[in-house]
Amino acid sequence: MWTDDYIGLPFKPDGRDRDGCDCYGLVCIVYKDRFNIDLPPISGVYCDNNPTTLIRVAKAMAAERERWQKVEAPQPFDVIMLRTGAYTWHIGLVVDSRRFLHVQRGTESIVDDYTGIEWRDRIDGFYRYK
């Protein structure tokens, strides 16, 4: 499966390569590898986990969202955007109708179930690159 090439990448704030990446960096790596698409790097926003930083992340993601079309039936490689409270600040890649690839602070990149209790109520939407 295509995810095998990306599982186990270490988390690194603002990371945009295989030596370490944040959640958006993982999306950038996959889109470059699989589709030869260079997404804007959007660096300098994800440097820690405090509320002020998360608001900056949410604003950067909202601005980038214009490049993406919201879809109701996600397909592999579509982006899933997730929120905590009022802010959307986490992103991953759809693997199939239940799972997504993502990375977050304190972990390596993994495939997780977005229909499970941890994520299902936090889904902001699914998006396809235009």
pLDDT tens-digit map of 96-108: 999 999 999 899 9
What is the SS3 string spanning 59-116? HHHHHHHHHEEEECCCCCCCEEEEEECCEEEEEEEECCCCEEEECCCCCECEEEECCC
- Cα maximum dimension of the chain: 37
pTM of the predicted model, to two decimals? 0.89
CATH of the structural domain 2-129, one choice from 3.40.50.720, 3.40.50.2300, 3.90.1720.10, 3.10.450.40? 3.90.1720.10
Tell me the per-residue pLDDT of 33-82, one tens digit each, with 9 for 90 and over: 999 999 987 776 665 666 777 777 777 777 777 788 999 999 999 999 99
Map residue 60 onto helix, strand or coil.
helix
Alpha-carbon distance 119 to 8, whole Å? Answer: 20
